[in-house]
Structure 1
Amino acid sequence: MSAYFVFNYQINNREAYNPYLAEVPNTIEAYGGEILAADFESEAIEGDVKHVAVVLKFASKEAAKKWYQSPEYQNIIKLRLNNADGIAALANGIDN
């Protein structure tokens, strides 16, 4: 069953965050993930939505966690966590 990582955050230090942006796509691709949406000007429809919204697709939750816990991603995750505030959620997809 497919799985989706959903990120929503506000960048607090763009200069320090930029290396993350340059490196993260390669880590996602290396673990079979796909970037479905990436918007730095997302719009609030309900609630307290931050300006960055990202949706990643993986083959399964296990595959998504393998990427998230990978050495490659763990080497750069601090660039996002130290320079942005927000959430990350992992959800199963609906396979037809």
Structure 2
Amino acid sequence: MPAYVIAEAELTGDPQKVATYSAKLIATIEPHGGRYLVRGAPWQVLEGESKAFTGVIEFPNAQAAQQWYQSPAYQEIVPLRARNTRGRIMIFEGVAAA
């Protein structure tokens, strides 16, 4: 069953370092079967407020998502994001089609 990594991040530091992280990110997800479904600022905020950048990445399963997150390639670029944004990264399992 597919799994989804959902990331929300608000810029708190150097935008160039976050841009470098973003540019290198795709190369870390593809070897684990991941692909972007959503990436960017909200098109419209319907409730509450959001200053966050959001990304949704689909993986074949939760194990692949976890392997991506723990991979040396991804962990190498984590400091670029962690030192310059505030937010969260979560893994969700998909649901079976009705």
Deviating runs (4+, > 2 A) in structure 1? 43-51
| Aligned residue in 1 for 2:55 | 54
Identity %: 33
CA RMSD between the two structures: 1.3
Residue 9 of structure 1 aligns with which residue? 9
Residue pair 1:50, 1:86 contacting (<8 A) in 2 also: no
Q: How many residues align?
A: 95
Q: Which runs of 5+ in 2 are unaligned?
A: none
Q: Scaled by the length of structure 1, what TM-score is found?
A: 0.89
Alignment deviations for residues 17-63 of structure 1 (CA, whole Å, 9 cap, x no partner): 12101100011111110100101x31432345333010000011111
Mind listing any 5+ residue stretches in structure 1 that lack a counterpart? none
C-alpha change, 1:87 and 1:50, in structure 2 (3 Å) is: farther
TM value normalised by structure 2: 0.88
Contact 1:8 1:51 in 2 (8 A): yes
CA distance in 2, matches of 1:18, 1:48: 23
In the alignment, is the contact (CA less than 8 A) between 1:8 and 1:50 conserved in 2? Answer: no
